Amino acid sequence: MEHRGVTIWLTGLSGAGKSTITEALAERLRDRQCKLEVLDGDIVRTNLTKGLGFSKEDRDTNIRRIGFVSHLLTRNGVVVLVSAISPYRAVRDEVREMIGDFMEVYVSAPLEVCESRDVKGLYKRARAGEIKQFTGIDDPYEPPTNPEVNCETHKESLDESVDKVVAKLEELGYLPAGVAV
């Protein structure tokens, strides 16, 4: 299927549902024959940005590197799904400007819901002081001021969230409208 390249940037707290939505969205887009690449924050940190810590400067460098790779893919007609906390608004806006064809998806849930979903025990360790600079606990998260899509995962189903993203991609002309799968 012919489509334009675009970066779909899913941002939100750990445990909000970014990776879950990304996986389901990737499946839906593959069913529509999209050229697709997934850049998950955890996987990128072990490969592309290994050695970076969690200071503001390192987090910004991490997001800029993900943004650069996304830019290269997007300009070559690939739909790029980025799933990364990316806590700072200014660097997300910088990446948006660099990429151009960019759609921000705020994956939101209250902190207590994110903590209840924490299978890795990261929030518990952060609250115990074992992990420093943990976003949402002792490091800030700056929500988007005007995302193209807001997925409230504590209020809506996974399918509803994915449907919202696909509908916005169609509305913005990145996907042809009305293709049922």
Catalytic center residues: 86
Structure-block tokens of residue 146: 């005007």
Tell me which DSSP letter residue 6 carries. Answer: E
Helix (H) or strand (E) holding 18: helix 18-31
For tokens 């209250």, what's the residue?
Answer: 110
Determine how β-strand 149-152 pairs with β-strand 102-108: parallel
Cα–Cα dist 21/83, whole Å: 9
Determine how β-strand 79-83 pairs with β-strand 6-11: parallel
Cα–Cα dist 68/147, whole Å: 20
Cα–Cα dist 93/87, whole Å: 11
